[in-house]
Amino acid sequence: EDQVTQSPEALRLQEGESSSLNCSYTVSGLRGLFWYRQDPGKGPEFLFTLYSAGEEKEKERLKATLTKKESFLHITAPKPEDSATYLCAALTSGTYKYIFGTGTRLKVLA
């Protein structure tokens, strides 16, 4: 069964304290791995797409990486405005279904 697991469920960081979020996936063929940011009561906001192992993408303080089994979202020197839930999703080959993880709730303290 296709599955995406995110860890940790919640993370509290001090401003400037770098860390990484994990997204492990078990799917029948990966077409793409997506990262989203979601603020409370709002729809997910697209961050990155990764398509092949070894691929990396960066945006401001965020950097996403992909291996054959997992993806990491690295947050460098976070700020309070980075506080949100970060979701990852795997797009499966052939079925075009997006399988989402349950997210990591990030809180950055000033």
Question: In the range 38-77, which residues lie near other proteins by CB under 8 A?
Answer: 41-46, 49, 51
Residue 96 touching other proteins (CB under 8 A): yes
| 49 exposure class (CB count in 10 Å sphere: 0-12, 13-18, 19+) | middle
- Nearest distance from residue 6's CB to other proteins, in Å? 8
Angle at 76 between CA 43 and CA 8, to 5 degrees: 60
d(CA 49, CA 17): 25
- Nearest distance from residue 16's CB to other proteins, in Å? 28
- Nearest distance from residue 99's CB to other proteins, in Å? 7
> For residues 33 and 23, is the Cβ–Cβ distance under 8 A?
yes
Q: Which is nearer to other proteins, 78 or 101 (CB)?
A: 101
Pairing of strands 62-66, 10-14: unpaired
Q: Which is nearer to other proteins, 78 or 86 (CB)?
A: 86
- The CA dihedral of 25, 39, 106, 6, to the nearest 10 degrees, is -10
Residue 12 touching other proteins (CB under 8 A): no
Q: Which is nearer to other proteins, 79 or 107 (CB)?
A: 107
Can you give the binding site for other proteins, defined by CB under 8 A?
4, 6, 31-32, 34, 36, 41-46, 49, 51, 87, 89, 91, 95-103
